[in-house]
Amino acid sequence: MVNLCGLDGQALDTHLAAIPVEDIWGIGRKCALFLTNYDIATARDLKYADAKWVRRHLTIVGERIVFELHGTACLPIESEPKNKKGIMCSKTFGREITSSQELQEAIATYTARAAEKLRGQETQATVLSVFVQTNRFNTALPYYTNSYDIALPYPTSFTPDLIHHALTGLKAIYREGYRYKKAGVSLTKIVPEEHIQPDLFGEFSLHDHYKQARLMCILDALNTIYGRDTLFFAIQGATRPWKMHQSKLSGRFTTQWSEILSL
């Protein structure tokens, strides 16, 4: 790793002259070949190329790279990640599912995961979608896939409500006689939590909303402190034999105490 901060122009150009143009972030193989044909073989060559010519041939992305090589920042650094506009939780099962009960457990578990992410960014969803599908690669068995969208009565991140709507959608698309291989839940039309609008004449209750928020806060706190699924809803199942196997999961050396490397 080379630290280019604090170098003067000449020293910086010396380092840039040793960097092939194809090693620059944003320059692909075809672009590198094109630039090389015009005697632009290094990062230094690209730095001093005509910006308008670069934009004409490599679009505005190439022009920004030229400006960046001159030390002009073109993309602001985001100190905080932006909230997601859509959240999906979907996985392939460890084995094919044939029973409605196990499919309900999977959908409930994925919904709980999605709701947890929703609360993590302090937002609420207004649309929930559920989908199921069989193994499309197994041509010996009939293929089936379907989805169901539900417009929620009001924005929410309350896991029990979301699970209730998700299971309603699952009931509408579930068909017996199929071997399901994958399912998932997605939450869309996400709005900030502070923009919740009370409804004087509808079903929405601000008192219940705050009560639900406190309950979910406690649930999330306990699962964060003591580990995921320390507390979970019964409909999610206890054993979950359909879970993804993850037998070849990469080591979590920096995030899991039990997997820290030791001599």
> Mind giving me the DSSP string for the chain?
----TT--HHHHHHHHTTSBGGGSTT--HHHHHHHHHTT--BHHHHHTS-HHHHHHHHHHHHHHHHHHHTT---SPPPSSPPPPS-EEEEEEEEEEE--HHHHHHHHHHHHHHHHHHHHHTTEEEEEEEEEEEE-TT-TTS---EEEEEEEEEEEE--HHHHHHHHHHHHHHH--TT--EEEEEEEEEEEEEGGG----SSSS--HHHHHHHHHHHHHHHHHHHHH-TTSS--GGG-SS-TTS---TTPPP-TTT-GGG----
Give the pLDDT band (50/70/90) at residue 146: very high
Torsion angle in degrees (nearest 10) through CA of 146, 124, 109, 211: -140
Report how far residue 158's alpha carbon sits from residue 70's, in angstroms, rounded to the nearest whole number: 50
Residue 2 has pLDDT above 60, yes or no: no
The pLDDT score that the predictor gives to residue 250 is: 79
Report how far residue 155's alpha carbon sits from residue 225's, in angstroms, rounded to the nearest whole number: 28
Residues of the chain with CATH 1.10.150.20: 10-69
**Amino acid identity for residue 16 in this structure:** L
The pLDDT score that the predictor gives to residue 197 is: 67
Give the pLDDT band (50/70/90) at residue 4: low
Residues of the chain with CATH 3.30.1490.100: 87-192+209-228
Residues in the chain: 263
Instruction: Name the class of domain 10-69.
Output: mainly alpha
Q: What is the C-alpha end-to-end distance of the chain, expressed in Å?
A: 26
Q: Is the pTM of this model over 0.75?
A: no
User: Which residues, 6+ apart, have CB-to-CB distance to 46 below 8 Å?
Assistant: 21, 24, 27, 35, 40, 54, 65, 66, 69
- Answer whether 154's CB lies under 8 Å from 202's CB: yes
Report how far residue 216's alpha carbon sits from residue 159's, in angstroms, rounded to the nearest whole number: 8
Pick the CATH number of 87-192+209-228 from 3.40.50.300, 3.30.1490.100, 3.20.190.10, 3.40.50.2020: 3.30.1490.100
Report the percentage of the chain scoring pLDDT > 90.
Answer: 54
Degrees (nearest 5) of the Cα angle 243, 249, 255? 105
Report the percentage of the chain scoring pLDDT > 70.
Answer: 92
Q: At what angle do helices 29-37 and 51-69 cross, to 10 degrees?
A: 120
232 CB-contact burial (10 Å; exposed 0-12 / middle 13-18 / buried 19+): middle
**Amino acid identity for residue 44 in this structure:** R
The pLDDT score that the predictor gives to residue 1 is: 53
Give the mean pLDDT of 57-70: 89
